[in-house]
Amino acid sequence: MARKFLYFVAIMIVLVIAGLIVLRIWSKELTAIAFVPTTDFAEQTPLEANAYQDPELWYSRPGIGLDDPARWQPAYRDEGRSLPQPADPKPGNFAVFFIHPTSFLDRSNWNAPIGSTEAEDRARLYLRGLASPFNQASEIWAPKYRQATMGAFLTDKPEGQKALDAAYADVKQAFAFFLTAVDEDTPIVLAGHSQGSLHLLRLLLEEVNGSATAPRIVAAYVVGWPVSVEHDLPALGLPACAAANQTGCLLSWSTFAEPADPTDVLDTYSSSKGFDGELRGNSQILCTNPLTGRVGGEAEAAVNLGTLVPDGDLANGDLVRGSVPARCDDRGLLLIGDPPEMGSYVLPGNNYHVYDIPLFWANVQQDVATRVSAWQQARPNQAKPSPAP
- The size of the chain, in residues, is 389
**Are 163 and 106 contacting, i.e. CB atoms less than 8 angstroms apart?**
no
Distance CA 87, CA 84 (A): 9
- Is the link from the previous residue into 74 a cis peptide, with omega within 30 of 0? no
SS3 state of residue 55: helix
Residue 127: how many other CB atoms lie within 10 Å = 24
Number of helices and strands (H, E) in the chain? Answer: 7, 15
Distance CA 234, CA 227 (A): 11
Q: What spatial distance separates the first Cα and last Cα of the chain, rounded to whole Å? A: 71
Q: Which domains does the chain have, with CATH numbers?
A: 43-77+86-255+357-377 (3.40.50)
**Are 308 and 125 contacting, i.e. CB atoms less than 8 angstroms apart?**
no
Cβ within 8 Å of residue 350, ≥6 positions away: 256, 257, 258, 259, 260, 261, 339
**pLDDT of residue 388 exceeding 80:** no
The pLDDT score that the predictor gives to residue 92 is: 75
User: Tens of pLDDT along 220-264?
Assistant: 999 999 999 999 999 999 999 999 999 999 999 999 999 999 999
What would the mean pLDDT of 302-315 be, rounded to a whole number? 92
1 CB-contact burial (10 Å; exposed 0-12 / middle 13-18 / buried 19+): exposed
Distance CA 225, CA 94 (A): 25
| Residue type (1 letter), 256 | F
**pLDDT of residue 8 exceeding 60:** no
What would the mean pLDDT of 145-158 be, rounded to a whole number? 94
The pLDDT score that the predictor gives to residue 28 is: 53
Question: Closest Cα partner for 34 from 204, 154, 189, 191?
Answer: 154
User: Tens of pLDDT along 276-290?
Assistant: 999 999 999 999 999
Distance CA 381, CA 206 (A): 29
Distance CA 93, CA 388 (A): 10
SS3 state of residue 173: helix
The pLDDT score that the predictor gives to residue 213 is: 97
User: Tens of pLDDT along 172-197?
Assistant: 999 999 999 999 999 999 999 999 99
Q: Cα–chain-centroid distance for residue 215?
A: 23
What would the mean pLDDT of 327-355 be, rounded to a whole number? 96
| Rounded-to-10 torsion of CA 148, 152, 153, 155 | -170
The pLDDT score that the predictor gives to residue 17 is: 40
User: DSSP letter at 303?
Assistant: G
What would the mean pLDDT of 307-318 be, rounded to a whole number? 90
Question: What does residue 166 show for φ and ψ, rounded to 5 degrees?
Answer: -65, -40
For the ranges 19-28, 116-125, 127-136, the lowest mean pLDDT is seen at 19-28
> Distances in Å between the alpha carbon of 255 and those of 60, 151, 159, 163, 350?
26, 22, 29, 26, 9
Looking at every residue in the chain, the average pLDDT score rounds to 89
The pLDDT score that the predictor gives to residue 175 is: 98
**pLDDT of residue 7 exceeding 80:** no
> Distances in Å between the alpha carbon of 22 and those of 18, 19, 28, 154, 261?
6, 5, 10, 18, 18
The pLDDT score that the predictor gives to residue 10 is: 40
User: Tens of pLDDT along 346-382?
Assistant: 999 999 999 999 999 999 999 999 999 999 999 876 5
